[in-house]
Structure 1
Amino acid sequence: MLDMDPIYETGVAVAEAEAAPDAVRVRAAHPDDLAAVLAIRNDAVATSTALWTETPQTPAEGAAWFAGFLEKDAAFVAEYAGEVVGFGVYCPWRPLEGFRHSAENSVYVRGDRHGLGIGTELLAVLIAAARQAGYHLMIADIEAGNTASIRLHERFGFENVGTVREVGTKFGRWLDLTIMRLQLS
């Protein structure tokens, strides 16, 4: 488990009682967060190219997917004004043991809450958690047209290592994948 207080406010751990009511708070996710996380994830499936599928997760599929991150202490949610408005997860980048020291991150913010620094707070916690878990490198696979996500990762020192052209499709068009990396150790 991440060796920090369970509530974060603008990157600094604070006691829950001291946190401002309208501040962004990032905390470890728990099973009760599933409905909010699944709503954010499925909205991204329906409206964006952040997830390269057009099939939303069912509640059962979402529960199984989310449980995998929860059991590894690798899922976090962002709260703003008392509600879950974003989530972030990290996991091994590839399943083969040769990649066991490389993690990838995913950050999602509810569409009506963009621009409040929520993604920044989530990514900061994901990097700290992956570093503490002993990962050597963090990868971000980002749809090349998602300039906001690319800029977010650049602010944390991720470097662009390349773009794979026309590697996927969604909404009837080809998508390019930008791969970014951050050295953790």
Structure 2
Amino acid sequence: MTIRPATRTDCPGILAIYNDAVLTTTATYDYEPRTLAQREEWFDQHTRDGYAVFVAEDESGRIVGWSALNPYHARPGYRFTSENSVYIAADKRGQGLGKLLLSPLIDAARARGLHAIIAAIDATNEVSIRLHAKFGFVQVGHFKQVGYKFDRWLDVIYMERLLD
């Protein structure tokens, strides 16, 4: 397994993992799969703005996971805070890839001079909550029934990691 910075050519693999999460999980509250053009635009914007994106590539060259730093809010007062994303292919979950993808993301946040990383996690995603806790994230909020997907209301847990 190789963890490396993503390139634009990784967008189809990133897209496949994300779209599966859209259709089958509450890891994202998106309802509609994205197109390759949309994912490439997302990647180009991240690259242009200096936000890290990493991929996990297996021995066959398949992208089996990805992580990213994302803008937290557009207002300049939030420029030292980022929200993270970690997505793993369905057939590779539970194999430790989340740890491998979150670690370089935290290093990249430090290198970028960020002060805080925020994780907004569906309250039923206990695996992600535990993963973030192992990396020093602490729960700072629990928003009840702020999301809606698959015909049910969803809670969101906010976790934060201060970097300095």
Cα distance in 1, alignment partners of residues 161 and 58 from structure 2: 27
Q: Is the 8 A contact 1:76 1:87 kept in 2?
A: yes
What is the percentage of aligned positions where both structures have the same residue? 44
Deviation digits for residues 68-127 of structure 1, max 9, x if unmatched?
Answer: 223325111011223210000002211111111111100000000012211101000100
- Matches for 1:104-119 after TM superposition, within 5 Å: 104-119=83-98
Does 1:164 pair with 2:147?
A: no
| Preserved CA contact (<8 Å) 1:165 1:177 | yes
Say if 2:58 is the partner of 1:80: yes
Contact in 2 for aligned 1:30/1:70 (Cα 8 Å): no
Does 2:58 correspond to 1:58? no
Partner Cα distance (2:47, 2:9) in 1: 11
Where do residues 31-70 of structure 1 align in structure 2 (5 Å cutoff)?
A: 31-70=8-47
Structure 1 alignment gaps of length 5 or more: 1-23
Contact 2:46 2:52 in 1 (8 A): yes
Counterpart CA distance in 2 for 1:33 and 1:73 is: 16
Partner Cα distance (2:151, 2:112) in 1: 39
Q: In the alignment, which residue of structure 1 is the partner of 2:156?
A: 177
What amino acid maps onto 2:93 in structure 1?
A: H
Over alpha carbons, which structure has the higher Rg? 1
* 1:111-154 alpha-carbon deviations (Å, 9 max, x no partner): 00012211101000100001110000111000011000000000
Aligned residues between the structures: 162
Matched residue SS, 2:27: coil
The structural deviation recorded for 1:44 is 0.4
TM-score using structure 1 length: 0.85
State the TM-score, normalized to the length of structure 2. 0.95
Q: 1:118 to 1:37 in 2, by over 3 A?
A: same
Answer whether contact 1:26 1:78 (CA < 8 A) is retained: yes
- 2:69 maps to amino acid: Y
Q: Distance in 2 between matches of 1:146 and 1:38?
A: 21
Residues 83-98 of structure 1 correspond to what in structure 2 (within 5 A)?
83-98=62-77
Distance 2:5 2:16 in 1: 18
User: Which of 106, 131, 137 is residue 127 of structure 1 equivalent to?
Assistant: 106
What stretches of structure 1 move > 3 A for 4+ residues in a row?
none
CA distance in 2, matches of 1:61, 1:103: 21
